[in-house]
Amino acid sequence: MNHSFFFTPFSPVAILFIATFFLRAKKASCTDPQFLACEPKSCGDQNISFPFHIQNAQEEYCGYPGFAISCNEKNKTVLSLSNNEYIIQEIDYQNHSLRLSNAVGFGKNTSCSPQIQNISLNGDRFRLSTNRTGLFLFYNCNSKLLESDSKLLNHKVDCSGENGNVSTVAMRVDNPLLGSVSEKCGAGVMAPVDVYRGENVSIGKMLERGFVLNWVASDCSECDESGGRCGFNYTTYQFKCFCPDRPHARSCKSGSTNRTRRRWIVVGK
Ligand SMILES: *[C@@H]1O[C@H](CO)[C@@H](O)[C@H](O)[C@H]1NC(C)=O
Ligand SMILES: *[C@@H]1O[C@H](CO)[C@@H](O)[C@H](O)[C@H]1NC(C)=O
Ligand SMILES: *[C@@H]1O[C@H](CO)[C@@H](O)[C@H](O)[C@H]1NC(C)=O
Ligand SMILES: *[C@@H]1O[C@H](CO)[C@@H](O)[C@H](O)[C@H]1NC(C)=O
Ligand SMILES: *[C@@H]1O[C@H](CO)[C@@H](O)[C@H](O)[C@H]1NC(C)=O
Ligand SMILES: *[C@@H]1O[C@H](CO)[C@@H](O)[C@H](O)[C@H]1NC(C)=O
Ligand SMILES: *[C@@H]1O[C@H](CO)[C@@H](O)[C@H](O)[C@H]1NC(C)=O
Ligand SMILES: *[C@@H]1O[C@H](CO)[C@@H](O)[C@H](O)[C@H]1NC(C)=O
Ligand SMILES: *[C@@H]1O[C@H](CO)[C@@H](O)[C@H](O)[C@H]1NC(C)=O
Ligand SMILES: *[C@@H]1O[C@H](CO)[C@@H](O)[C@H](O)[C@H]1NC(C)=O
């Protein structure tokens, strides 16, 4: 009978069925732990994934070196660059760019003590995008000298809690007055801002809107499209594609040939 072909314990169909069942069960029970650990996480309304990793919330190997960020108590994503803290407003994973603004605001209510410091993009991970200018902030202007210069006085910033002897002045780097300001104000700090042609916005607005940085890190798209999660092995210092089965070199689709591809280093002769 045909029935016996299908349902006797040792029929090919039964064996196939049982084998499939066990393979599935095995696969489910040992999904690669790194794949699981590197699930994208959110911070506020930002989705965080490679090359970033959230310090204290995600494994370091889920990100690329130099891309540690944190999620503050206000659900804002914070990136620290040298001595400044920046709020990440937007991340564009396709263009490898992010919009930042200085975490220290700048308005009537903010104190004008020198909180914003010169930006320094150490290393080659981040680059300022092209549509950008700078804003010079001078925190130590001599109020008396400033009073006598009506042009400079126009650039004075109102700050709370400022003592009468010292004033703060802010102006764009392309301002012709920049040359004359240093004798009254000493050294300033430069904060990058995006400025669009013909636009007239306040200093506070400019700082709030911030600026765009482009980043350089391993490209995640191939791994991502193959269903993997990108990461980095800090021991071998290599990009990894964490897949449900195991870590791969670039993509979950690549076979073992690519996994074992390596640079041979000849020691001695
Ligand atoms: C974050 O991911 C969720 C789910 O994929 C999506 O609905 C949401 O729009 C994303 N948010 C941002 C800011 O991209
Ligand atoms: C931050 O966002 C998470 C998830 O949306 C939410 O559960 C939490 O209450 C938020 N925390 C604050 C301080 O807004
Ligand atoms: C990223 O690229 C897309 C398409 O090229 C573009 O529409 C978008 O404005 C870009 N975003 C940024 C932040 O440059
Ligand atoms: C400014 O500060 C005062 C007193 O500290 C506070 O009452 C007020 O709400 C603040 N305004 C803004 C816009 O933050
Ligand atoms: C401003 O300077 C004058 C003279 O230099 C000094 O007497 C005064 O205490 C100073 N004011 C403040 C608020 O520091
Ligand atoms: C900040 O950088 C500018 C040049 O971009 C420099 O003229 C200025 O002295 C620096 N300020 C400080 C406090 O280092
Ligand atoms: C720079 O600004 C101009 C107009 O202000 C805009 O057309 C262009 O797309 C911007 N470029 C980038 C890279 O954002
Ligand atoms: C910019 O706007 C301010 C007030 O918002 C105005 O006083 C000033 O004249 C404007 N400057 C230019 C160049 O349009
Ligand atoms: C990194 O690679 C080494 C050598 O292949 C391996 O032993 C280690 O478990 C890997 N670490 C991570 C976090 O993937
Ligand atoms: C190995 O990687 C290359 C690109 O890096 C890809 O074209 C090739 O198909 C991969 N080989 C296997 C066996 O997946």
pLDDT digits (tens, 9 = 90+) for 212-223: 999 999 999 999
pLDDT given for residue 265 in this prediction: 44
Q: Tell me, in angstroms, the distance from the centre of ligand 7 to residue 128's CA.
A: 13
Ligand 10 atom with the shortest distance to the CA of 256 = 13
Give the number of the ligand closest to the Cα of residue 226.
10
Q: Tell me, in angstroms, the distance from the centre of ligand 6 to residue 49's CA.
A: 34
Is the pTM of the predicted complex or chain greater than 0.95? no
Average pLDDT over residues 124-135: 83
Does ligand 9 come within 6 angstroms of the Cβ of 138? no
Does ligand 3 come within 6 angstroms of the Cβ of 225? no
Four-CA torsion 17, 23, 24, 27, nearest 10 degrees: 180
Does ligand 5 come within 6 angstroms of the Cβ of 161? no
Return the residue whose CA atom lies nearest to atom 7 of ligand 9: 235
The answer for residues whose C-beta is within 8 angstroms of residue 5's C-beta and 6 or more apart is 11, 13
Calpha distance 15→75 (Å, rounded): 53
> If you search the block for the tokens 């659900």, which residue do you land on?
75
Q: What are phi and psi of 81, to 5 degrees?
A: -125, 120
pLDDT: which is higher, 141 or 133: 141
Calpha distance 228→119 (Å, rounded): 35
Does ligand 10 come within 6 angstroms of the Cβ of 29? no
Give the number of the ligand closest to the Cα of residue 252.
10
For residue range 4-28, what is the model confidence (pLDDT) as tens digits? 555 555 666 655 555 555 555 444 5
DSSP code per residue over 34-59? HHHHT--EEETTEEE-TT-EETTTS-
Find out whether 193 and 99 touch, Cβ atoms under 8 Å: no
Does ligand 7 come within 6 angstroms of the Cβ of 140? no
Does ligand 9 come within 6 angstroms of the Cβ of 236? yes
The alpha carbon of 38 is separated from its chain's Cα centroid by a whole number of angstroms, namely 16
**In terms of Cα–Cα distance, which of 166, 167, 142 is closest to 156?**
167
pLDDT given for residue 262 in this prediction: 46
For residue range 41-95, what is the model confidence (pLDDT) as tens digits? 999 889 999 999 999 999 999 999 999 999 998 899 999 887 788 999 999 999 9
Does ligand 10 come within 6 angstroms of the Cβ of 219? no
Q: Tell me, in angstroms, the distance from the centre of ligand 1 to residue 48's CA.
A: 10
Does ligand 2 come within 6 angstroms of the Cβ of 72? no
Read off the tokens for 143: 């109020």
Q: Tell me, in angstroms, the distance from the centre of ligand 4 to residue 159's CA.
A: 12
Ligand 3 atom with the shortest distance to the CA of 212 = 13
